[in-house]
Amino acid sequence: MESSIIEVANLRKVYRIGSEKVIALNSIHLTIQKGEFVCLLGTSGSGKSTLLNMMAGLEKPTKGTVRILGESINAMSEKKLAKFRQDYLGFIFQSYNLLPALNALENVSLPLTFKGISKQVREKRAAKLLDAVGLTSHIKHKPSQMSGGQQQRVGIARAFAANPEIIFADEPTGNLDSKTTQEVMELMTTLARKRNQTLIIVTHDREIAKFADRVVRILDGNIDGITLQKETIGVVE
Ligand SMILES: Nc1ncnc2c1ncn2[C@@H]1O[C@H](COP(=O)(O)OP(=O)(O)OP(=O)(O)O)[C@@H](O)[C@H]1O
Ligand SMILES: [Mg+2]
């Protein structure tokens, strides 16, 4: 389909530890549309992170393919894949993964240094994003000088800085209280919507799943069901 941005076909991942075999993903088929907000929902060990990591090209599947923007990421060399990730993909982690020695502004502008953008433009863009996440007063703060929610907002600003087509987030609110979780979810949704970016979030929390357009339930390495919550496909604003 013309507007599909990610196509997962026959995806399988088997981990081997000695003689033990874990089928983390059985045979996954999934198509995600541009601008969609998809939630991968499931209990611990169901295979959510494995699926996200394969879709983001962070891990190699045992079988099957992932196509992003029409290109098979499995066929790419490591070098090409790294460049592809830099150009099109953004990541938000549960543990924030900010660089401790850098302040908020530097953390957010870092992904832009690889894009050949001048320091002045980088910092201007980073400051604008930090403003969008409500952290104008904290641009000089280092991660250790911020709360968990503030650090995650920096993490969100950083993921959006390079304006990626797709943003992947694995339990992005896993370390936050319920009020901050709501704020962070609303922030991610609003930012992605505004720019028609595709958002894929892994969670075990049904409250978080409520924000998504579509919920893909994962059970024992399989898709157990898909619920369409909001119609985004074919909607033109
Ligand atoms: N590197 C690995 N080596 C061996 N087994 C692994 C590895 N990574 C994941 N697994 C196994 O694959 C299965 C799926 O793991 P995965 O991390 O995808 O689950 P999850 O749904 O993200 O769980 P959680 O909610 O706890 O993060 C689990 O049984 C896990 O033990
Ligand atoms: Mg996980």
The mean pLDDT of the chain is: 93
pLDDT category at 1 given cuts 50, 70, 90 is very low
How many structural domains does the chain have?
1
- 30 part of a folded domain: no
Of all protein residues, the one whose alpha carbon is nearest to atom 28 of ligand 1 is 45
Give the tens place of pLDDT for each residue, 83-126.
Answer: 999 999 999 988 999 999 999 999 999 989 888 889 999 999 99
Which residues have a Cβ under 8 Å from the Cβ of 211 and sit 6 or more positions away?
A: 37, 39, 185, 186, 189
CATH number at residue 47: 3.40.50.300
pLDDT category at 237 given cuts 50, 70, 90 is very low
In this predicted structure, the answer to whether residue 183 has a pLDDT above a threshold of 70 is: yes
- 6 part of a folded domain: no
Decide if 54 contacts 25 (C-beta within 8 A).
Answer: yes
The residue to mutate among 11, 14, 20, 22, having the most atoms of ligand 1 within 8 angstroms of its beta carbon, is 22
d(CA 107, CA 20): 41
Strand ranges of the sheet holding 37-41, from the earlier edge strand across to the other edge: 89-92, 166-170, 198-203, 37-41, 214-219, 222-228
Q: What is the mean pLDDT of residues 204-232?
A: 94
pLDDT of residue 113: 87
What is the number of the ligand closest to the CA of 20? 1
- What domain range is 132 assigned to? 35-60+78-228
Give the tens place of pLDDT for each residue, 33-80.
Answer: 999 999 999 999 999 999 999 999 999 999 999 999 999 999 999 999
For residues 203, 206, 208, 209, the Cα torsion angle rounded to the nearest 10 degrees is: 80
Decide if 91 contacts 167 (C-beta within 8 A).
Answer: yes
pLDDT of residue 28: 98
Cα distances from 51 to residues 42, 55, 166, 168, in angstroms, run: 12, 6, 15, 11
Verify whether ligand 1 is closer than 6 Å to residue 48 (CB atom): yes
What is the number of the ligand closest to the CA of 45? 1
pLDDT of residue 171: 94
- 210 part of a folded domain: yes
Instruction: Find the 189 Cα to ligand 2 centroid distance in Å.
Output: 21
- Residue 218 CA: nearest ligand 1 atom is 21
Instruction: Find the 157 Cα to ligand 2 centroid distance in Å.
Output: 22
Q: What is the pTM of this model?
A: 0.93
d(CA 190, CA 203): 19
- 41 part of a folded domain: yes
- 43 part of a folded domain: yes
Verify whether ligand 1 is closer than 6 Å to residue 21 (CB atom): no
